[in-house]
Chains A and B, each alone.
Chain A
Amino acid sequence: MIPTPDLSHLSAQDYEQVYEPAEDTFLMLDALEADAEELRSMNASVFLEVGSGSGCVSAFARSILGPNTLYLATDINDRACDCTQRTALQNKAALDVIHTSLTQGIYSRLRNSVGVMCFNPPYVPTISTEASEAQNLRGIEGSWAGGSDGMQVTNMFLETVHELLSANGRFYLVAVKENNILEIQQRMAQLYHLKSKIVLSRRAGREHLSIVRFEHDGVTLELNSL
Protein backbone atom coordinates (compact mmCIF):
# COMPACT_ATOMS: atom_id res chain seq x y z
CA MET A 1 0.00 0.00 0.00
CA ILE A 2 1.29 3.42 -1.01
CA PRO A 3 0.78 6.07 1.69
CA THR A 4 -1.35 9.13 0.91
CA PRO A 5 0.94 12.18 0.67
CA ASP A 6 1.47 14.25 3.80
CA LEU A 7 -0.65 17.40 3.47
CA SER A 8 -0.35 18.55 7.09
CA HIS A 9 1.43 21.74 5.98
CA LEU A 10 -1.70 23.00 4.19
CA SER A 11 -3.98 25.19 6.27
CA ALA A 12 -7.65 26.14 6.32
CA GLN A 13 -6.62 29.42 4.65
CA ASP A 14 -5.06 27.46 1.80
CA TYR A 15 -8.28 25.53 1.36
CA GLU A 16 -10.26 28.75 1.11
CA GLN A 17 -8.51 29.33 -2.20
CA VAL A 18 -7.39 25.88 -3.32
CA TYR A 19 -9.45 22.72 -3.78
CA GLU A 20 -9.07 20.44 -0.77
CA PRO A 21 -8.52 16.76 -1.62
CA ALA A 22 -11.85 14.96 -1.51
CA GLU A 23 -13.43 11.75 -2.80
CA ASP A 24 -12.58 12.58 -6.43
CA THR A 25 -8.92 13.06 -5.51
CA PHE A 26 -8.81 9.78 -3.59
CA LEU A 27 -10.48 7.92 -6.43
CA MET A 28 -7.67 9.13 -8.70
CA LEU A 29 -5.08 7.92 -6.17
CA ASP A 30 -6.80 4.53 -6.01
CA ALA A 31 -6.82 4.22 -9.81
CA LEU A 32 -3.11 5.04 -10.01
CA GLU A 33 -2.32 2.62 -7.21
CA ALA A 34 -4.27 -0.18 -8.90
CA ASP A 35 -2.12 0.34 -12.02
CA ALA A 36 1.10 0.93 -10.08
CA GLU A 37 3.03 -2.03 -11.38
CA GLU A 38 2.20 -1.38 -15.04
CA LEU A 39 2.90 2.32 -14.65
CA ARG A 40 6.31 1.58 -13.18
CA SER A 41 7.18 -0.82 -15.98
CA MET A 42 6.42 1.88 -18.58
CA ASN A 43 9.54 3.83 -17.56
CA ALA A 44 7.80 7.13 -18.24
CA SER A 45 10.22 10.00 -18.71
CA VAL A 46 7.55 12.65 -18.05
CA PHE A 47 4.60 12.75 -15.66
CA LEU A 48 2.18 15.66 -16.04
CA GLU A 49 -0.69 16.73 -13.85
CA VAL A 50 -2.96 19.47 -15.15
CA GLY A 51 -4.69 21.50 -12.44
CA SER A 52 -2.63 20.10 -9.60
CA GLY A 53 -4.37 22.05 -6.79
CA SER A 54 -3.00 20.83 -3.46
CA GLY A 55 -0.38 18.69 -5.25
CA CYS A 56 -1.71 15.53 -3.64
CA VAL A 57 -1.96 13.50 -6.87
CA SER A 58 1.44 14.54 -8.22
CA ALA A 59 3.19 13.72 -4.95
CA PHE A 60 1.44 10.36 -4.92
CA ALA A 61 2.51 9.67 -8.50
CA ARG A 62 6.09 10.41 -7.46
CA SER A 63 5.95 7.61 -4.91
CA ILE A 64 4.64 5.22 -7.56
CA LEU A 65 6.90 6.08 -10.50
CA GLY A 66 10.09 6.85 -8.60
CA PRO A 67 13.12 8.99 -9.39
CA ASN A 68 13.58 8.25 -13.11
CA THR A 69 10.71 10.51 -14.18
CA LEU A 70 10.36 14.28 -14.53
CA TYR A 71 7.27 15.52 -12.66
CA LEU A 72 5.46 18.55 -14.05
CA ALA A 73 2.38 20.12 -12.50
CA THR A 74 0.36 23.06 -13.82
CA ASP A 75 -2.36 25.17 -12.29
CA ILE A 76 -4.08 28.41 -13.32
CA ASN A 77 -4.45 29.41 -9.64
CA ASP A 78 -1.24 30.89 -8.20
CA ARG A 79 -2.17 29.82 -4.68
CA ALA A 80 -2.58 26.24 -5.96
CA CYS A 81 0.89 26.43 -7.54
CA ASP A 82 2.26 27.49 -4.19
CA CYS A 83 0.44 24.63 -2.40
CA THR A 84 1.71 22.07 -4.95
CA GLN A 85 5.26 23.32 -4.45
CA ARG A 86 4.97 23.09 -0.68
CA THR A 87 3.46 19.60 -0.94
CA ALA A 88 6.40 18.55 -3.07
CA LEU A 89 8.84 19.82 -0.43
CA GLN A 90 6.91 18.26 2.43
CA ASN A 91 6.96 14.88 0.69
CA LYS A 92 10.51 15.21 -0.66
CA ALA A 93 9.21 14.84 -4.20
CA ALA A 94 11.06 16.81 -6.89
CA LEU A 95 8.15 18.41 -8.72
CA ASP A 96 8.30 21.30 -11.18
CA VAL A 97 5.29 23.60 -10.94
CA ILE A 98 4.21 25.84 -13.80
CA HIS A 99 1.64 28.58 -13.39
CA THR A 100 -0.45 28.32 -16.53
CA SER A 101 -3.77 27.32 -18.02
CA LEU A 102 -3.85 23.61 -18.97
CA THR A 103 -0.55 23.12 -20.85
CA GLN A 104 -0.01 26.58 -22.36
CA GLY A 105 3.70 27.28 -22.74
CA ILE A 106 4.80 23.63 -22.44
CA TYR A 107 2.52 22.02 -25.01
CA SER A 108 4.78 22.35 -28.07
CA ARG A 109 7.81 20.84 -26.34
CA LEU A 110 5.90 18.02 -24.65
CA ARG A 111 4.42 16.49 -27.79
CA ASN A 112 4.53 12.67 -27.79
CA SER A 113 6.46 12.81 -24.53
CA VAL A 114 4.11 12.39 -21.60
CA GLY A 115 4.04 8.88 -20.18
CA VAL A 116 1.52 9.39 -17.42
CA MET A 117 -0.95 12.26 -17.33
CA CYS A 118 -3.68 13.14 -14.81
CA PHE A 119 -6.48 15.69 -14.84
CA ASN A 120 -9.13 16.18 -12.19
CA PRO A 121 -11.00 18.92 -14.06
CA PRO A 122 -13.75 21.33 -13.04
CA TYR A 123 -16.50 18.80 -13.83
CA VAL A 124 -19.56 20.24 -12.08
CA PRO A 125 -22.25 21.34 -14.56
CA THR A 126 -22.91 25.08 -14.27
CA ILE A 127 -24.12 27.75 -16.64
CA SER A 128 -21.53 28.32 -19.32
CA THR A 129 -20.54 31.88 -18.38
CA GLU A 130 -19.93 30.77 -14.80
CA ALA A 131 -17.21 28.38 -15.97
CA SER A 132 -15.39 30.89 -18.15
CA GLU A 133 -15.61 33.60 -15.48
CA ALA A 134 -14.24 31.12 -12.93
CA GLN A 135 -11.21 30.41 -15.14
CA ASN A 136 -10.63 34.14 -15.60
CA LEU A 137 -10.74 34.68 -11.85
CA ARG A 138 -8.04 32.01 -11.42
CA GLY A 139 -9.36 31.09 -7.99
CA ILE A 140 -11.02 28.13 -6.27
CA GLU A 141 -14.25 28.42 -8.34
CA GLY A 142 -12.18 27.37 -11.35
CA SER A 143 -11.49 24.01 -9.70
CA TRP A 144 -15.12 22.91 -9.97
CA ALA A 145 -17.27 25.14 -12.23
CA GLY A 146 -17.46 23.17 -15.47
CA GLY A 147 -20.10 24.95 -17.56
CA SER A 148 -22.40 23.08 -19.91
CA ASP A 149 -22.41 19.34 -18.99
CA GLY A 150 -19.44 20.19 -16.76
CA MET A 151 -17.27 19.72 -19.85
CA GLN A 152 -16.29 23.23 -20.88
CA VAL A 153 -12.71 23.16 -19.61
CA THR A 154 -12.25 19.40 -20.03
CA ASN A 155 -13.18 19.57 -23.72
CA MET A 156 -10.43 22.10 -24.41
CA PHE A 157 -7.90 19.75 -22.90
CA LEU A 158 -9.27 16.61 -24.57
CA GLU A 159 -8.35 18.04 -27.97
CA THR A 160 -4.66 17.93 -27.01
CA VAL A 161 -4.37 14.60 -25.21
CA HIS A 162 -3.42 12.51 -28.26
CA GLU A 163 -0.59 14.89 -29.11
CA LEU A 164 0.82 14.97 -25.60
CA LEU A 165 0.83 11.24 -24.84
CA SER A 166 3.89 9.18 -25.65
CA ALA A 167 3.43 5.99 -27.71
CA ASN A 168 2.58 3.90 -24.63
CA GLY A 169 1.35 6.86 -22.54
CA ARG A 170 -1.73 6.83 -20.34
CA PHE A 171 -4.11 9.60 -19.38
CA TYR A 172 -6.33 9.44 -16.28
CA LEU A 173 -9.38 11.69 -16.17
CA VAL A 174 -11.90 12.26 -13.37
CA ALA A 175 -15.46 12.46 -14.65
CA VAL A 176 -19.00 12.40 -13.27
CA LYS A 177 -22.10 10.83 -14.77
CA GLU A 178 -23.43 14.23 -15.95
CA ASN A 179 -20.35 14.61 -18.19
CA ASN A 180 -21.75 11.80 -20.38
CA ILE A 181 -18.73 9.53 -20.19
CA LEU A 182 -19.81 7.23 -23.01
CA GLU A 183 -20.01 10.18 -25.40
CA ILE A 184 -16.51 11.31 -24.34
CA GLN A 185 -15.12 7.83 -24.95
CA GLN A 186 -16.74 7.53 -28.40
CA ARG A 187 -15.55 11.00 -29.41
CA MET A 188 -11.96 10.35 -28.31
CA ALA A 189 -11.91 7.05 -30.21
CA GLN A 190 -13.34 8.52 -33.41
CA LEU A 191 -11.44 11.78 -33.52
CA TYR A 192 -8.10 10.85 -32.00
CA HIS A 193 -7.80 7.05 -31.99
CA LEU A 194 -7.65 7.00 -28.23
CA LYS A 195 -9.18 3.95 -26.64
CA SER A 196 -10.45 4.19 -23.11
CA LYS A 197 -11.84 2.35 -20.17
CA ILE A 198 -13.62 3.27 -16.97
CA VAL A 199 -11.15 1.82 -14.50
CA LEU A 200 -12.87 2.81 -11.27
CA SER A 201 -16.24 4.21 -10.18
CA ARG A 202 -17.60 5.28 -6.83
CA ARG A 203 -20.60 7.12 -5.49
CA ALA A 204 -19.78 10.02 -3.18
CA GLY A 205 -22.85 11.83 -1.88
CA ARG A 206 -24.67 13.12 -4.95
CA GLU A 207 -21.73 12.55 -7.27
CA HIS A 208 -21.24 9.41 -9.28
CA LEU A 209 -17.51 9.58 -9.90
CA SER A 210 -15.39 7.66 -12.40
CA ILE A 211 -11.80 7.51 -13.51
CA VAL A 212 -11.46 7.10 -17.27
CA ARG A 213 -8.12 5.89 -18.60
CA PHE A 214 -7.12 6.73 -22.18
CA GLU A 215 -4.31 5.41 -24.36
CA HIS A 216 -3.42 5.29 -28.07
CA ASP A 217 -5.26 2.48 -29.85
CA GLY A 218 -2.27 1.66 -32.02
CA VAL A 219 -3.83 2.69 -35.34
CA THR A 220 -2.43 6.24 -35.39
CA LEU A 221 0.99 5.02 -34.36
CA GLU A 222 1.13 2.59 -37.25
CA LEU A 223 0.07 5.32 -39.66
CA ASN A 224 2.76 7.63 -38.34
CA SER A 225 5.45 5.05 -38.77
CA LEU A 226 4.61 4.37 -42.45
Chain B
Amino acid sequence: MVRLITHNLLACHVKGCTSNNFPLQLQNVQIELREADFNPDFLKTFLPKLEWKALVDSAKELGDTSLPLEQPEMLDDEFLKNLHHVLLEIHIEEGNMICPNCKHSYPISNGIPNMLLAEHEIG
Protein backbone atom coordinates (compact mmCIF):
# COMPACT_ATOMS: atom_id res chain seq x y z
CA MET B 1 0.00 0.00 0.00
CA VAL B 2 1.29 3.41 -0.92
CA ARG B 3 -0.38 5.84 1.43
CA LEU B 4 0.30 9.55 1.22
CA ILE B 5 2.24 9.34 4.48
CA THR B 6 4.75 7.12 2.64
CA HIS B 7 4.60 9.11 -0.57
CA ASN B 8 5.59 12.15 1.51
CA LEU B 9 8.90 10.37 2.24
CA LEU B 10 9.82 9.37 -1.32
CA ALA B 11 12.23 11.46 -3.37
CA CYS B 12 13.91 10.92 -6.73
CA HIS B 13 17.48 9.62 -6.33
CA VAL B 14 18.66 9.51 -9.93
CA LYS B 15 22.33 10.46 -10.25
CA GLY B 16 22.66 14.24 -10.24
CA CYS B 17 18.96 14.84 -9.58
CA THR B 18 19.25 16.67 -6.27
CA SER B 19 16.91 19.66 -6.45
CA ASN B 20 13.20 19.94 -7.18
CA ASN B 21 13.16 16.12 -6.94
CA PHE B 22 10.27 15.99 -4.44
CA PRO B 23 7.36 15.35 -4.21
CA LEU B 24 6.95 12.79 -6.97
CA GLN B 25 3.93 13.61 -9.11
CA LEU B 26 1.17 11.03 -9.14
CA GLN B 27 -0.02 9.86 -12.56
CA ASN B 28 -2.55 7.31 -13.83
CA VAL B 29 -3.26 6.19 -10.31
CA GLN B 30 -5.85 3.71 -9.11
CA ILE B 31 -6.80 4.36 -5.54
CA GLU B 32 -8.68 2.43 -2.92
CA LEU B 33 -10.11 3.83 0.28
CA ARG B 34 -9.66 1.69 3.37
CA GLU B 35 -10.76 2.68 6.82
CA ALA B 36 -8.06 2.89 9.48
CA ASP B 37 -8.27 3.41 13.23
CA PHE B 38 -8.26 7.11 14.10
CA ASN B 39 -5.19 7.82 16.21
CA PRO B 40 -4.74 11.52 17.01
CA ASP B 41 -1.56 10.88 19.05
CA PHE B 42 0.19 9.37 16.06
CA LEU B 43 -0.90 12.24 13.80
CA LYS B 44 0.39 14.82 16.24
CA THR B 45 3.78 13.11 16.57
CA PHE B 46 4.13 12.74 12.84
CA LEU B 47 3.01 16.23 11.86
CA PRO B 48 6.46 17.88 12.23
CA LYS B 49 7.98 15.29 9.87
CA LEU B 50 5.60 16.06 7.02
CA GLU B 51 6.44 18.29 4.10
CA TRP B 52 3.12 20.08 4.29
CA LYS B 53 2.90 21.70 0.86
CA ALA B 54 3.89 18.42 -0.79
CA LEU B 55 1.13 16.63 1.09
CA VAL B 56 -1.53 19.20 0.21
CA ASP B 57 -0.51 19.17 -3.47
CA SER B 58 -0.42 15.38 -3.69
CA ALA B 59 -3.81 15.09 -2.00
CA LYS B 60 -5.14 17.52 -4.60
CA GLU B 61 -3.76 15.35 -7.41
CA LEU B 62 -5.93 12.60 -5.95
CA GLY B 63 -8.98 14.88 -5.76
CA ASP B 64 -8.90 15.57 -2.02
CA THR B 65 -8.95 19.25 -1.10
CA SER B 66 -9.81 18.91 2.59
CA LEU B 67 -6.44 20.11 3.92
CA PRO B 68 -5.64 23.82 4.52
CA LEU B 69 -2.76 25.36 2.56
CA GLU B 70 -0.93 26.21 5.76
CA GLN B 71 -0.52 23.81 8.64
CA PRO B 72 -2.86 25.16 11.33
CA GLU B 73 -1.63 25.99 14.81
CA MET B 74 -4.78 24.70 16.47
CA LEU B 75 -5.19 20.99 15.86
CA ASP B 76 -8.96 20.59 16.15
CA ASP B 77 -10.80 17.36 15.64
CA GLU B 78 -12.06 18.20 12.18
CA PHE B 79 -8.54 18.96 10.94
CA LEU B 80 -7.12 15.78 12.50
CA LYS B 81 -9.86 13.67 10.94
CA ASN B 82 -9.17 15.12 7.50
CA LEU B 83 -5.45 14.59 7.98
CA HIS B 84 -6.08 11.02 9.13
CA HIS B 85 -8.05 10.31 5.98
CA VAL B 86 -5.51 11.87 3.62
CA LEU B 87 -2.46 10.29 5.21
CA LEU B 88 -3.68 6.84 6.11
CA GLU B 89 -6.88 5.88 4.31
CA ILE B 90 -6.13 6.63 0.66
CA HIS B 91 -4.17 3.73 -0.81
CA ILE B 92 -2.55 4.02 -4.22
CA GLU B 93 -2.63 0.55 -5.72
CA GLU B 94 -1.34 1.20 -9.24
CA GLY B 95 0.17 4.14 -11.06
CA ASN B 96 3.33 6.11 -11.63
CA MET B 97 5.30 8.65 -9.65
CA ILE B 98 7.13 11.15 -11.84
CA CYS B 99 10.10 13.22 -10.68
CA PRO B 100 9.26 16.92 -11.23
CA ASN B 101 12.89 17.59 -12.14
CA CYS B 102 14.29 14.75 -14.27
CA LYS B 103 10.93 13.14 -15.18
CA HIS B 104 12.06 9.68 -14.11
CA SER B 105 9.02 7.47 -13.60
CA TYR B 106 8.78 5.20 -10.56
CA PRO B 107 5.99 2.63 -10.93
CA ILE B 108 3.54 1.56 -8.23
CA SER B 109 2.33 -1.98 -8.72
CA ASN B 110 0.11 -4.03 -6.43
CA GLY B 111 0.41 -1.28 -3.82
CA ILE B 112 4.23 -1.34 -3.75
CA PRO B 113 6.33 1.59 -4.99
CA ASN B 114 9.40 0.59 -6.98
CA MET B 115 12.26 2.98 -6.23
CA LEU B 116 14.97 0.82 -7.84
CA LEU B 117 17.12 2.36 -10.54
CA ALA B 118 19.38 0.80 -13.13
CA GLU B 119 23.03 0.86 -12.08
CA HIS B 120 24.00 3.77 -14.39
CA GLU B 121 21.21 5.94 -12.95
CA ILE B 122 22.24 5.64 -9.30
CA GLY B 123 23.79 8.71 -7.67
Contact = CB atoms under 8 A, between A and B. Distances in A.
A complexed with B: yes
Interface of A: 43, 45-46, 67-70, 72, 76, 78, 81-82, 85, 94, 96-101, 104-110, 113, 136, 138
Contacts of B12: 105
Interface string B1-24: 111011011111100000000100
B92 to A, nearest CB: 11
B3 A96 contact: yes
A94 B11 contact: no
Given A105-B106, A106-B10, A99 B39 contact: no
B39 A104 contact: no
A45 B88 CA distance: 15
Contacts of B122: 104
A109 B111 CA distance: 20
A99 B10 contact: no
Interface residues of B, number: 33
Nearest to A97: B112
A104 B45 contact: no
Most chain B beta-carbon contacts within 10 A, residue among A72, A101, A106, A138: A106
A109 B10 contact: yes
A52 to B, nearest CB: 12
Contacts of A108: 11, 13, 22
Contacts of B115: 98-100, 104-106
Contact of B111 (A85, A104, A110): A85
Contacts of A70: 5-6, 42, 46
26 contacts: A45-B45, A67-B37, A68-B39, A68-B41, A69-B42, A70-B6, A70-B46, A78-B112, A78-B114, A82-B110, A85-B1, A85-B112, A96-B3, A97-B112, A98-B115, A99-B115, A100-B114, A104-B115, A104-B122, A105-B10, A108-B11, A108-B13, A109-B10, A109-B11, A113-B49, A136-B119
